[in-house]
Structure 1
């Protein structure tokens, strides 16, 4: 394999041993790895959800894996650009932004939900007791987005509403960035905004339902809320799920081991895997850069529209 000649007997055994030693050479270069994740939820919830994944990866790879919960989506991009995060969990649009700005990162795994899909939707919620029953009712009202690099919380609403003749920055009286999916829903629940953009997998699997399960969602009077307290007035086309991605510059064997660790996690550590989705996902599936080309195109379109209006 190394000198491209056919080896037999003792020579083959010697080469196999050399290959095994070579396979671990990356540990000298990377005695510790970092997993950076986007702040889709609040910081403590994100840590609780992803620390078991970091611990699992460390056990599988044989080196410590440190969890880094980013302050915003751009921080994950910059951590990989600087080489400080060898592994990252992106949203689709933040992955696209990383690629478009020259970060050499390779998607390796994506979660598959209980409905069999490796993707989700962007939705806009209003309160069920509000007068806003359609997206048209929200003209001139206040919208909570998530983060400039969020897919469901910014890029998808902008793209698909523009397709329907509605410019987010002029259709709504104000579009604010809440900083996380949780914060956007909380702003709506407490009456700070009239609507909120968020992610949605199915009726019983969304960021909203996870907040309800954890008991962190209350209205302005402090009363616990259910999903019946919310109404969906906008739903995007289907979007690919956010990828786990590795730096392209990592040694090939390390990238292979990371990929295998993700794909075998449901079997090797079912508890930690279930914790990533509150038991809603069924496996990790392999993914490649070409699967995100539609999202790259969406982000490029939004960038062009922003330049036109500036």
Structure 2
């Protein structure tokens, strides 16, 4: 039976526990009972679910609120969702992040990117052709069909356009047809099936690329393709969160990301194909070069319209 002294002792313990839990933590959890994380798939729906479900479960456990993964149709949907405040965390390429930052007047901020296998940050845009196709470089494919990716894709669209401009290649005149494949996976399949002779894609290394990921799932054979173009290094693809969220929440999200490699290695390896040693911190200034790239692409589109 509880005596008055026991009751007072328990009450005091409860008060101490309440004081030990910062009020701001309760405040942001009340305001954000669910966080939405949005991703644009570079692979089929089942592959996205397999890759991101453990990630969402880990974040839910670490943050103490439900984290829901939303698979967007394209980068524009993620950009608009963050601009409207409906998406709290978004996974971007550098160009789509800059677009989101611009249209939201700085309403999103990058905080992390996956490191490459060697610990570095950044990746490349490459152009694939079938191995048995004549031609060793991009300039050899005049009059052939070209596959690009989502208009907001850095490696699949914007860097290719910028790089071709520096090579004095006007895609509309140089290639027989330009196809918007939509996703990186679709671009590879289009080259495989002969819809396009050239297809742009992202690439970290021979063992870490969209092509190697597809090959590991027996969708294609890696040896059936060759690289006929490789760009300069691109800043790492950022994870970005809403700038307007409470500082405590943003700190908690960032900490959960950087702790993931040690706290839930299985989920982290699923996310990164087991080919990354962890996350690297990123800030807006890291994408200054991408802002210049985006301006070029926007100016190019205005000339075409």
Does TM, scored on the shorter chain, surpass 0.5? yes
Three-state SS of the structure 1 residue aligned to 2:113 is strand
What's 2:253 paired with?
Answer: 258
Distance 1:74 1:42 in 2: 18
What's 1:125 paired with?
Answer: 128
Distance 2:145 2:259 in 1: 44
Residue 175 of structure 1: how far off its partner (Å): 1.4
Give structure 1 regions of 4+ aligned residues with deviation exceeding 4 angstroms.
Answer: none
Q: Which of 37, 40, 43 pairs up with 2:42?
A: 40
- What RMSD, in angstroms, separates the aligned Cα atoms of the two structures? 1.6
Residue 96 of structure 1: how far off its partner (Å): 1.1
The question of whether the paired residues in 2 share the 8 Å contact of 1:39 and 1:73 is answered with: no
Residue 289 of structure 1: how far off its partner (Å): 0.5
CA deviation vs aligned residue, 1:35-87 (integer Å, no higher than 9, x gap): 00112222221222112111111110001100001011111111111111101
Q: May I ask how many residue pairs the two structures share in their alignment?
A: 289
Q: Which of 154, 158, 175 pairs up with 1:155?
A: 158
The question of whether the paired residues in 2 share the 8 Å contact of 1:100 and 1:296 is answered with: no
Matches within 5 A, 1:8-23: 17=19, 20-23=22-25
Three-state SS of the structure 2 residue aligned to 1:24 is helix
Distance 1:85 1:234, change over 3 A: same
Matches within 5 A, 1:159-198: 159-198=162-201
Q: Which has the larger radius of gyration?
A: 2
Three-state SS of the structure 2 residue aligned to 1:280 is coil
| Structure with the larger helix share | 2
Q: Which of 206, 209, 212 pairs up with 2:212?
A: 209
The question of whether the paired residues in 2 share the 8 Å contact of 1:243 and 1:287 is answered with: yes
**Which runs of 5 or more structure 1 residues have no equivalent in the other structure?**
1-12, 218-224
Q: Which of 234, 238, 251 pairs up with 1:239?
A: 234
Q: Which of 84, 88, 94 pairs up with 1:92?
A: 94
What's 1:29 paired with?
Answer: 31
Three-state SS of the structure 2 residue aligned to 1:240 is coil
Residue 237 of structure 1: how far off its partner (Å): 0.7
Further displaced range: 163-172 or 147-156: 163-172
TM-score of the pair, normalised by structure 1 = 0.90
Distance 2:69 2:262 in 1: 22
Q: Which of 32, 48, 51 pairs up with 1:49?
A: 51
What's 2:4 paired with?
Answer: none
What's 1:220 paired with?
Answer: none
Three-state SS of the structure 2 residue aligned to 1:294 is helix
